[in-house]
Amino acid sequence: MLGVGPKTADILLLMIAKESTIPVDTHVMRVAFRLGISRKKEYEAIRKALMSSLNPEEYLKAHLYLILLGRRFCLARKPRCSECPVKHLCAKRFR
């Protein structure tokens, strides 16, 4: 029997069931770590950190914006920090 992972479950819960959760994909994980939202690169730690710093009605919008930020600016190999709209918040600059 096959199941789904936590990310897929959280996507379904957030987008279809309108439950209060935040799915964490590779982009969300990278952005959350670089912004200093979480010091751990673990799914549940990042999800909890994001959920504790946002209001539940912001979860969907935050999830989508974090993905967009990770795809356009906070790239894995060559981040475009000079163009990033939230570079003033980035903990990566201070490491």
**Active site residue ranges:** 7, 25
Burial 26-51 (b: 16+ CB within 10 A, else e): ebbbbbbbbbebbeeeebebbbebbb
- Sorted by sequence, the CB contacts under 8 Å of residue 70 that are 6+ apart come out as 26, 27, 28, 30, 31
